Amino acid sequence: MITEPGLPKAPAGLFRSRGWQVAMIGLGTATAQLDTSVNIAFPAITRGFDLGIADIQWVVICYVLTYASLLLTLGRVGDTVGHAIVFRVGLVWSAAALLFVGGSPSYGAVLVFRCLQGVGAALVLSCGAALVTSLYGEERRSRALGVYTMMMAFGWMLGPLLGGALTAVWDWPAVFWFRIPIAVGALLLLRGLPVSPLQRAGDRLDIVGGIALVLGLVTMLLAINRVREFSAVWFALLSAAAFAAFIVRERRAAHPIIAIDILRLPGFALLNIVSVLANLAAFSVWLLVPYFLARAPGYALAANGAILAAAAAGAVLAAPIAGRLVGRTISAEQLAVLGALAIGAGLVLISTWTEQTPTALRVAGLIVQGVGLGLFQLAYSDIVTAALPLRDRGVAGSLVLLTRTLGTVTAASIVLMVFEILQQHDSFLEAFQQTFQLAALLAFAAAGLLALSPRRTGTS
């Protein structure tokens, strides 16, 4: 079984070896990370249901909003009942949801089943990082997070590659159905993880706090999405009330979902805001680049997927290297600043694209942006994981994913809104370039805020 640092190691054997278990955790996590295959299928989905470009945001929002709102609560569930149990349930749930999404008869059904898919993703992602770090031990935490970040990015990279080829042959439902055997395979082969929970005397889930947190996150994201409508005011007020109730509840709870006092660490709250901003800027690539490539002459759909995959390839290359460097040659704080700057530099390169831009230069811009995201995610994960107690690893991993997904959902609303407004006055290409210029400025602003913020405590 997986052991905490200082406890006996698991017995030898293929299914109980660390390498095998890490690989199977990565395979299971891929059911969620391969969702980037859906992005390359956006044009096919919009054609299939006769939608506008702005309408496609709901495919992203329904999925990401669901799992973002559940991550912290399910991370605490994993800390309480056992990370492996929650992870396995997530694989089963994900397989069923993917089957239903691909078979949806209408766009409304797609959105409903995307919400169900989001529940499965939250179950899997909330405990993935905790499982991997427990395999390596605390003294190798940065390296473990580098491996996990690399596996996550590898899923992002393979998504467009597979999505482009599958959509070209079997249309958009294939980007959902091909992940079903992956989820089932990981479930059957992941035998070495424990089924018994990590015992914590008297620990139990704060259900009231969990409900308030989910309500606050959902209404906040809806307020962001409807920022141009008056209904955003009501969603914002409801979100503020729910978060206030959550804070009051967590201060009184014997076993809070997350200790509110953690936000008092120097720079910690700002760090999480910066993570949202950096991911907001980075996700603009996955929203708009598929439409640029679909318009570019001379590319087949599979080639478009390969080009988009370069963004994740940069993160695959950067994350494990960064995991070995943190704490040795560079601090996690410095690496986070460097990552945000690289994200901005990559977005600047993308903003220069025209129909005549060589493929090599397009790929270069995506790789630079991906390297920056890989560096930033690894550094941010290390800071957050070190700041929270060892017993709260599920919550720590969930917090990292939550800020990333908040940036994703915000991007799906704000970036598409900005692009739509710009396109009313300019051509598609001009609006594309201007949107990425603004995204680059946002990434540079995130780097500046992080560089000027107080030094965080609790990191190692």
Q: Count of CB atoms within 10 A of residue 1's CB? A: 14
What pLDDT does residue 455 have?
56
pLDDT band at 6 (very low <50, low <70, confident <90, very high): very low
On the question of pLDDT at 1 being above 70, the answer is no
The more confident residue out of 176 and 81 is 176
pLDDT band at 9 (very low <50, low <70, confident <90, very high): very low
pTM, entire model: 0.71
What pLDDT does residue 458 have?
44
The more confident residue out of 17 and 200 is 17
Domain residue extents for the chain? 14-205+255-452, 206-254
Q: Count of CB atoms within 10 A of residue 405's CB? A: 27
Are the C-beta atoms of 70 and 122 separated by less than 8 Å? yes
Please give the average per-residue pLDDT across 185-189, as a whole number.
85
pLDDT tens-digit map of 137-147: 666 666 667 67
The chain-wide mean pLDDT, for the chain, equals: 78
Are the C-beta atoms of 130 and 41 separated by less than 8 Å? no
pLDDT band at 68 (very low <50, low <70, confident <90, very high): confident
Please give the average per-residue pLDDT across 212-225, as a whole number.
80
Most confident of 30-39, 197-206, 240-249, 346-355: 346-355
Tell me the HSE value of 428 on the side-chain side, using a 13 A CA sphere: 12
CB burial of 343-353 (b: ≥16 within 10 Å; e: otherwise) equals bbbbbbbbbeb
CA distances from 223 to 172, 227, 301, 414 (A): 30, 6, 35, 11
What pLDDT does residue 367 have?
92
Looking at CATH, the fold of the domain delimited by 14-205+255-452 is given as: Growth Hormone; Chain: A; (1.20.1250)
On the question of pLDDT at 318 being above 60, the answer is yes
pLDDT band at 440 (very low <50, low <70, confident <90, very high): very high
Distance from C-alpha of 172 to C-alpha of 155, rounded to nearest angstrom? 18
